[in-house]
Amino acid sequence: MRCSTRWHASVLLQHIHRSLPVLQKLYAHLPQPQLQRPAQLAGRVDSATSFPPDPQTAEEGDRVVRFFCSELGMGEAALQQWRHKLRHKSAQRWGVPAASRAPPNSPAHFSSPNLPISDTAAAAGASSTTVPWTRVRGARAAAAAAPPSHAILSAAADRKAYASSSSFLWLRPRSQDVAVVQSAMQSLQFIVSPFLLLSPTPVVAASPPRSDSPDVNIVPPHDTVRPASYEECSRWYATQPIPAGMFLMSLPTEAVLFANPPPAADPVLMFYMQVEELVGQLVSAVADASAPHHGYASYLCDSVVPSRNLPFLTTADVQQLFEAAPDLIAQSPHVSGPAAVTGNVTSAPTDSPALSLVSFFHEDMAGEPLSDYLRKRISRDEYAWWVSLVLSHRAGATSLLPMIDKLNHSPLPNCYYTMATEDTMCGIDVLDNLFAGVPGELLYQPYVHVFALRDIPAGAELTLCYASASEGVYNPASRHPPAPPPPLSASGREGAHHQHSSADSAKDMAEVMHDLFPSCDASMVSESDGGSGSLDCASQFRRLKHPGRQEIDTPEGKATWLLQWGFVPPCDAIYSAKDLREMATLIAERRVDMRSLLFPQAG
């Protein structure tokens, strides 16, 4: 009877989800014949009899590569070639010498510390490396392939002036974009696919744009001019078609900024303590040119437009959301008593989390920092600016993911990320590190990996799902009371443009921007729409809605989005958080199953 090789899978393949210490113990206690059997059956020479220890050098990292290839039936030469080309092409694109990349936590060489926020443009610096214009694809093809969430790209490619089939999409990073990617690669061990560019919105033209072009629509943005609106800010784009499952960028978990303040009994106070700790880390990094996150924090100061979110909204602004939808107040779990009947401003729910957050900031905190550390270092306006930035960029409640936080929101995202930790690091995480091009000496270190959730066409913007509804939109209709969704406004952001009352006012965002950045045209500042706030985009998403109530159609749901991100998406997320985790697991398993096809053995 012929024996199938599937019964002789290696110990590593059978236990690839086990932690690294467990794998080391398994290999240490296995008899020698059992260690050799998989290699002999596959016609290979066994290169190791024990699980490799934590690599500290590139040579020790090569031993890990050799061991994993031997145990999992992959071609070592093919995998090493992939890892080398990935690092080489990425370093070449961004002007980082691959052979002399700095070790982790090495200082980034920017200007002197103790600079005020208004001077951080000089701190971030302009890179001497110039990334040339990159032709992505034909404008018509890009417009046809653009997902509904990519309203800006679709609109740009549909312009009548560039409807010619000879037009292309062109991308080029600003010098500040190049500088921050260089800093992240050198100081934070950030890895980015050579198929990506951090760039302003694409320019549609037949040839590479020039600064002296007579057409103002195709004049490239000036490198030294601060973006005045969300639309002018840079974001991540795909320059080549990217298949589902491909790793796009990777960041050591150690480089993630975490907030871990002492516990507080009041959840609202705990919320602001977490935000303030992240603000404090960024402010400290801006002031210290030797800090690993200095380039990233300086870039946020120089190239990011804050949202009109919590610091720039008042209690009256949030109350008006409840007044605008009295029919939904009765359905809100936070509303009881007379408020459910009248729907007046004065009858808004007193236990609303959104109202609690905004009133605590403007009344209890008076818009001032909680800690003496920040009170001594930044002004009230600077504090509002930093809080706005942290709220719109943080992942979850307690972390900031440098560079990854440049991905915008979409209810139908094309990317997802996983984060390994010291406690969860296992064999499949090492395999992911191998595929992502992590340096050999860091293969056992936990990483955050961003990968394509589905096929991404060239020219498309990379997107994440910032927040999922409790179960996503694909729910049985019986779980929700059937109700037709109320129509969205043309902007898709009700409640974002209410005027401040004289009795309860927050300083206008344009005024703060003008005070902090005098060179910026504050009159042009507008809040973020998340890349998916247009009426056309909203209408395309409506066909995906379930018959029940959408969370973003409730006053509390709208307020939650406005306070954190400064916009309201056209609909709830298509997938729930559980859906996304399951999809990520399936993609990871698919990578394991396809390992030998992706990296075949020689001969």
User: Is the residue at 19 inside a domain?
Assistant: no
pLDDT number for residue 32: 61
Q: For residues 573 and 454, give the distance between their C-alpha atoms in angstroms, rounded to a whole number.
A: 16
User: Is the residue at 123 inside a domain?
Assistant: yes
Structural domain containing residue 229: 117-247
Most confident by average pLDDT, 1-15, 107-121, 226-240, 403-417: 403-417
| Secondary-structure percent of the chain, ordered helix, strand, coil, rounded to 5 | 45, 10, 45
Q: Which residues pair with 205 in a beta bridge?
A: 168
Q: For residues 32 and 13, give the distance between their C-alpha atoms in angstroms, rounded to a whole number.
A: 17
pLDDT number for residue 496: 35
Q: For residues 5 and 150, give the distance between their C-alpha atoms in angstroms, rounded to a whole number.
A: 47
User: Is the residue at 173 inside a domain?
Assistant: yes
Sign, CA dihedral 187-193-199-205, equals: positive
pLDDT number for residue 72: 94
Split into its structural domains, the chain has a count of 1
User: Is the residue at 326 inside a domain?
Assistant: no
Task: Give 540-563 pLDDT, tens digit per residue.
Answer: 555 555 556 678 888 999 999 999
Whole-number CA gyration radius for the chain:
26
**Token pair in block for residue 12:** 């590593």
* Residue 389 burial (CB count, 10 A): 24
* Residue 45 burial (CB count, 10 A): 9
Q: For residues 46 and 18, give the distance between their C-alpha atoms in angstroms, rounded to a whole number.
A: 22
pLDDT number for residue 289: 95
Q: Does the pLDDT of residue 579 top 70, yes or no?
A: yes
Q: For residues 361 and 350, give the distance between their C-alpha atoms in angstroms, rounded to a whole number.
A: 16
What is the mean predicted confidence (pLDDT) over 521-535? 42
Task: Give 290-343 pLDDT, tens digit per residue.
Answer: 999 999 999 998 888 888 899 999 999 999 988 876 554 444 444 333 333 333
Average pLDDT value for the chain:
76
pLDDT number for residue 60: 96
User: Is the residue at 429 inside a domain?
Assistant: no
Task: Give 2-27 pLDDT, tens digit per residue.
Answer: 444 444 679 999 999 999 999 999 99
Task: Give 157-200 pLDDT, tens digit per residue.
Answer: 454 444 455 688 899 999 999 999 999 999 999 999 999 999 99
Q: Three-state DSSP class for 603?
A: coil
Task: Give 42-80 pLDDT, tens digit per residue.
Answer: 444 444 568 999 999 999 999 999 999 999 999 999 999
User: Is the residue at 148 inside a domain?
Assistant: yes
pLDDT number for residue 528: 41
pTM: 0.79
191-192, strands of its sheet edge to edge: 191-192, 247-252, 447-452, 415-419
Q: For residues 599 and 586, give the distance between their C-alpha atoms in angstroms, rounded to a whole number.
A: 20
**Token pair in block for residue 30:** 């296995």
User: Is the residue at 435 inside a domain?
Assistant: no
Q: Does the pLDDT of residue 37 top 60, yes or no?
A: no
**Which of 138-152, 206-220, 380-394 is predicted least confidently?**
138-152
Cβ proximity of 136 and 458 under 8 Å: yes
Q: For residues 479 and 163, give the distance between their C-alpha atoms in angstroms, rounded to a whole number.
A: 46
Task: Give 452-507 pLDDT, tens digit per residue.
Answer: 999 999 999 999 999 876 654 444 443 443 343 344 333 333 333 333 333 344 55
Dihedral in degrees, nearest 10, Cα atoms 355, 356, 360, 361: -50
pLDDT number for residue 544: 54
Q: Which residue has the higher pLDDT, 531 or 402?
A: 402
Q: For residues 403 and 197, give the distance between their C-alpha atoms in angstroms, rounded to a whole number.
A: 12
User: Is the residue at 224 inside a domain?
Assistant: yes
Q: Which amino acid is at 431?
A: L
